[in-house]
Structure 1
Amino acid sequence: MLSRDIILGITLLALVVKAQLPPKVIETKESLLNELHSLQDVIPPNYAIRSNEHQNAQEINRIFEEFLVQNQESIDAVLRVLKLIDHELENVIQDCIKIFDLDSLDSSNVLFVQVTKPLLYEVKVLCELITDKQIDEVEAALSQVEHHAVDYRQRLDQVMKDMASVSGQLDGDHFKSRIELKTMQISTHLQALNRTFLTEIDQNFTKYMDKWMEKYKKFASMVPNGVEDDVNDRAEIVALFDFVDYLNNETSVLQDELAEFLDYWVELVDETLDSVTNGSLEIVDFLENHPLENFITGDASLKCVSSYYQNLDETILLVLDGFFRCVDYEQEMTKAFQQIDSVLDSTNKAVNFLLDSYITCIKLVGQFGGDFELKECLADLEELLDGTSEFVEHKSTEIYYHTEDAMVFTGVIMGACVQLKAREAVSQLGGKMIDFDACGDKEIK
């Protein structure tokens, strides 16, 4: 770089010696001036990323903003030089001195080095020739500036697109919002399904138990006075009471147990949902930040990052959809609790037959009086009551363990699904990472 003393000396010399520039130089500089001046209207003030959630957003913002400032300062200086170039060289020298003093010449900003610095360097060479009054070389140097200005315009267009692409990808955390919304939707549906199952279980048990109690009360109200005082008849009546009481207790216990299972099931799904949600956020964070880290460390260009981000949304959505489909609980829960309806329906048939038999016997006693004994009519029914009780006890135990097994196995299914989707995600995203790293290698080479 020329020292200030030499430049000032040349400046004084220029006051005496008038050097003329060829018309071709003036024509070229006018074309350059118009071209570079038109860029001022298309460069936006900044590309700041509003979101602070990304760990690299602040550094990316700094690089972008620094580039825009340095680029603007440099182009302003270049424009000043071009505007002053006329047939008299000495008019240009003072602004050429300013070119030498620009801090941007020593900038290490990766975007500035790639986009603007080559043009600024050629203008610096041009200024050195002008201050040295090497007129015969000025025209060739200005042609070089013109050539680099074309390249600069292309590089600037590309980097502005890439900056917009990267800023748009990081701005607003749309994936985090999407994941949180999906989590909330699944959780809300789970809670609603839980309430639905609890309501249906309660309604089913209540519906059948109310019918049975209604028939039992009808039987009790029809027992003739004095019959219940007969020791021989009382045993059969007590057996029916014990049977109905047993049904009431057994169904109540089972209902409470199923309600607890539903609570456990909800907790199980919530745990899986938390795992899927946290895993999804980690994946998105890694996929978005890995290329930025490579760019910041100089291992990849902004163009590579921008290319990598293209179609990344679609890839991430496929991965997220796969993970969230693992939280599939409704079908298994429905199948488990559907068994209750089947058992209650079968029990209801037997209980109705038995209760109707008791009611019919009371009617027969009333119809035939002393010629028809209640005990004889109720013969063999107690054995059927015991058989029905055994069936209810067996099925209650079966429902309990079937529901427990279904709940545990649902956890196994969801866990296996998450493991599969994690491996599929590695396969899907690994290809993109390889492509990105290859892009970085090419740019560096």
Structure 2
Amino acid sequence: MISRDTILGLALLVLAAEAQLSPKVIETKETFLHELHSLQDVIPKDRTVHTNEHQSALEIYRIFDEFLTQNQESIDAVLRVLKLIDHNLENVIQDCVKIFDLDSLDSINVLFVQVTKPLLYEVRDLCELITGKRVDEVEIALEQIERHAADYRQRLDQALKDIASVTGQVGGDHFNDRIQLKETQLLTHLEMLNNTFSTEMDQNFTKYFTKWIGKYKQFTSMIPDSVGYDANDQPGIAALFNFLDFLDNETSVLQTELDEFLSYWVDLVDETLDSVTNGSLEVVDFLENYPLENFLNGEASLKCTAEYYQNLEGTILAVLDEFYWCVDYEQEMMKAFLQIGSVLDSTDKAVDFVLDSYITCAKLAGQFGSDLELEECLADLDELLDQTSEFVERKCNEIYYHVEDAMVFSGVIMGACVHMKARDAVFQVGGKLTGFDECSKN
């Protein structure tokens, strides 16, 4: 290694000697000069400022940016040397000295060491020849540098491709944004279903009970004054009133319980969705940063890291879609709550027949007077009221337990699905992780 002082000392000798270079050296120099100039067009000049990234990603960006900066500085220094190489060498010495002053020569940046340093060392050796007046060796050295420059160009091209591949995947929030969007969409749909079922339940209960009360009022308004007794004191009328009071109580209690179940169900889905989202974020974070840690620790090359990121986006998106597919609550929820309308509809048929019988009795009593007493006409309806009451009570209990079971089992279904998909995800990404590990060992 020639020191800086030695170079400056030899400069005087070179100036005096006016060493001459052959036309072949100049031709080789011009070719190499053109090649290096063309490289400047492919090296990124702009540096993106990265913030709020994972620590490993920030370190990767720092290494990449440092490499690109040091690489550019090295090429600039080499170009200055080559431009000054002429038939005499006195103008080259000072720029050759600058080659020795480059901080990049001491760089431990793994990419710079692998890609650029070999060429920089070759140019440094060339400068030693020039400053040492070993003109006869310059031509051979320059030809050797030109050959090594082709290898450098291949290393640089591959490095730039790998950098672009890695930076295109590392950092950013596109996966997190997709996860948050998916969660928002499902929560919005869940809220819509919650409002829909609540509204439909309220409308159904209100519709049927309003209809029944309307017929009861129609019946009482049709009792003729000529009957001559207070309707409230009559057993048949009292039985109908008690029956309607029972219906009001049973349906009101059931509606309150179902509203609570629906609220619990929404909370259950919300918790499951939150679990899936947190799990998805952890999976994405691991898959994105796993190779970075290995690269930063010197356990993987940039090439292996770049190959790992190829098609990673498709793998991650497939895993995410599978996870969120598990949050399937709508079908179970609809099957449970739609049963309410069916039961109310069946109840309505029986109540309609009974109430219409009461109305008909009122008409008959009004028409025939003492020849057909109202209570006599109503006597056979008590048993129907009792049977309908038993049906309603049994069905209300059935609906209660059916919705409760459906809600609980919906949680089981979603939980089982998430566990299954988690294992599928391990299988899907396992090959990619194994491939990366195998590449890193070679």
Structure 2 counterparts to residues 113-192 of structure 1, below 5 A: 113-192=113-192
Work out whether residues 319 and 425 of structure 2, in 8 Å CA contact, stay in contact via their aligned partners in 1: yes
2:52 maps to 1:52: yes
Give deviations 1:289-340, integer Å, cap 9, x for gaps.
Answer: 1111111111112222222111111111100000000110000000001111
1:21 Cα deviation after fit: 1.6
Work out whether residues 276 and 418 of structure 1, in 8 Å CA contact, stay in contact via their aligned partners in 2: yes
Work out whether residues 56 and 293 of structure 2, in 8 Å CA contact, stay in contact via their aligned partners in 1: yes
1:46 Cα deviation after fit: 3.5
1:229 Cα deviation after fit: 3.6
2:283 matched to which residue of 1?
A: 283
2:23 maps to 1:28: no
1:192 Cα deviation after fit: 0.6
Secondary structure of the residue aligned to 1:2 is coil
1:308 matched to which residue of 2?
A: 308
2:341 matched to which residue of 1?
A: 341
Q: Distance in 1 between matches of 2:213 and 2:236?
A: 17
Name the amino acid aligned to 1:347.
Answer: T
Secondary structure of the residue aligned to 1:169 is coil
2:413 matched to which residue of 1?
A: 413
Higher mean displacement: 417-426 or 171-180: 171-180
1:94 Cα deviation after fit: 2.0
Work out whether residues 243 and 389 of structure 2, in 8 Å CA contact, stay in contact via their aligned partners in 1: yes
Structure 2 counterparts to residues 199-210 of structure 1, below 5 A: 199-210=199-210
Give the TM-score taking structure 2 as reference length.
0.96
Give deviations 1:34-61, integer Å, cap 9, x for gaps.
Answer: 1101222222224436452323222122
Secondary structure of the residue aligned to 1:88 is coil
Structure 2 residues not aligned, in runs of 5+: none
1:99 matched to which residue of 2?
A: 99
Structure 2 counterparts to residues 229-378 of structure 1, below 5 A: 229=229, 234-378=234-378
RMSD: 1.6
Name the amino acid aligned to 1:431.
Answer: G
Secondary structure of the residue aligned to 1:44 is coil
1:172 Cα deviation after fit: 3.1
1:9 Cα deviation after fit: 2.4
Name the amino acid aligned to 1:214.
Answer: G
Distance 1:296 1:175, change over 3 A: same
Distance 1:327 1:364, change over 3 A: same
Secondary structure of the residue aligned to 1:378 is helix
Higher mean displacement: 337-346 or 419-428: 337-346
1:228 Cα deviation after fit: 7.7
Higher mean displacement: 30-39 or 42-51: 42-51
Give the TM-score taking structure 1 as reference length.
0.96
Q: Distance in 1 between matches of 2:74 and 2:231?
A: 114
Q: Distance in 1 between matches of 2:180 and 2:228?
A: 66
Higher mean displacement: 293-302 or 281-290: 293-302
1:403 matched to which residue of 2?
A: 403
Name the amino acid aligned to 1:298.
Answer: G
Q: Distance in 1 between matches of 2:309 and 2:49?
A: 15
Name the amino acid aligned to 1:98.
Answer: K
Higher mean displacement: 377-386 or 258-267: 377-386
Q: How many residues align?
A: 442
Structure 1 residues not aligned, in runs of 5+: none
1:25 Cα deviation after fit: 1.1
